[in-house]
Structure 1
Amino acid sequence: MTFDNFIIRLLTIDDLDAYFHLVEQNRERLEDFFTGTVSKTKTFEDTRKFMKDILQRTKDKTYFPYIIIDDSNKRIAGFLDLKNIDWNIPKSEMGLYIDKDYANQGISTKAFRLFCDFCFAEYKFQKLFLRTHHNNAFARRVAEKCGFEIEGTLRRDYKTTSGEIVDLIYYGRIN
């Protein structure tokens, strides 16, 4: 998938160095709502183990990690994933984060919109959804610009890195 000067593709083990750098550079921003990623990528070796695990899950069709590449410099500009996949419905939860150097440039919205269309066509999902904290204006704005609607609030649905249990807004988009 391509848009502007960016490419969206599956993460591979060859991306290990660049992926570790992405997480490390954005660790503080990711801490509250990407707790699994942050906790499993503290060191380079931890990140290697984490990547091997998620790549196995890709083979098992239970998780799909994608990266957004800036084609002008080959840097990873962001990360998209499909998780909590239910092939019986079929539906999937989506995640997104963008490198701080690429934030507030419209890249996230363009990438997410393209990725949603791809997921409906490629994986034949009938529904895509995401969960986010009410304070995450960035995620809420991207979701709404990409046709997601608020379906409700899941109370006490997520535990942050600091241990706080918070409510999450549930957004959905159907095909």
Structure 2
Amino acid sequence: MIDSIHEKYAWRICDFTISNSDRLKRFFPKTLEQNLTPDLSDYFVEKKVKQFNKKEEFLFILKEPENRTVVGMVFIKNIDWEIKQAELAYCIGYQYEGKGWTTQAVNTLSNHAFGSLGLTTLQIIVHKTNVGSVKVAQKNGYTWQRTLENEHTPPGENPLDMELYELYNER
């Protein structure tokens, strides 16, 4: 189940990030550090709701339908309205990895970005060792474009080369 960011998710996002901190610390360090306490999560969500309403960035929450636990997040970010391009970034809780949730969410939000937002190019930037994320991109029709040298620097590490995948709106 996918829902746009809302104030009601603050404590659930805090819980998600804390319980998945080992998964998030390398590629989502800023999201993690902004959600280490319930107060920080309140501020994070408030900021993300404002960005959503201003169409600067869109955060969507993946939730488990029975108990509505936050199990993942998908960002439509780095939006360039002039060239109609944006990046999708996503994370999923360790308990839900490999079950197709992220693939389905990326499919839904790619269609939303093309149809409702009018974007024409979507990008996914992933490290080659993140096999699950590479598969999500490929299953959704994103194609590898090139290696981006020194694109991301995880905390306490040297810069990493990242792989760029893109999907184009053929409509």
Amino acid of the structure 2 residue aligned with 1:91 = Q
Task: Tell me the TM-score normalised to structure 2 length.
Answer: 0.94
Matched, 1:89 2:73: no
> Percent of aligned pairs with the same residue?
23
Shift of 1:39: 2.0
The answer to whether the aligner puts 1:155 opposite 2:168 as a matched pair is no
* TM-score, reference length from structure 1: 0.92
Cα contact 1:57–1:64 (8 A) shared by 2:
yes
Aligned to 1:170: 164
CA-CA distance at 1:139 after TM superposition: 0.7
Equivalent positions of 1:61-100 (< 5 A) are 61-100=55-94
Gaps of 5+ in 2: none
| Superposed counterparts of 1:1-80, under 5 Å | 7-80=1-74
Give the match's secondary structure for 1:9.
strand
User: What is the Cα-based RMSD across aligned positions, in Å?
Assistant: 1.1
Structure 1 residues not aligned, in runs of 5+: 1-6
Runs of 4+ residues over 6 Å off in structure 1 = none
Q: CA shift at 1:42, angstroms?
A: 2.0
Q: How many Å separate the matches in 2 of 1:110 and 1:14?
A: 23
The DSSP-based 3-state class of the residue aligned with 2:152 is strand
Change (3 A) 1:77 1:42: closer
Is the Cα–Cα contact under 8 Å of residues 23 and 38 in structure 1 kept in the other structure? yes
User: Greater CA deviation, 35-44 or 18-27?
Assistant: 35-44
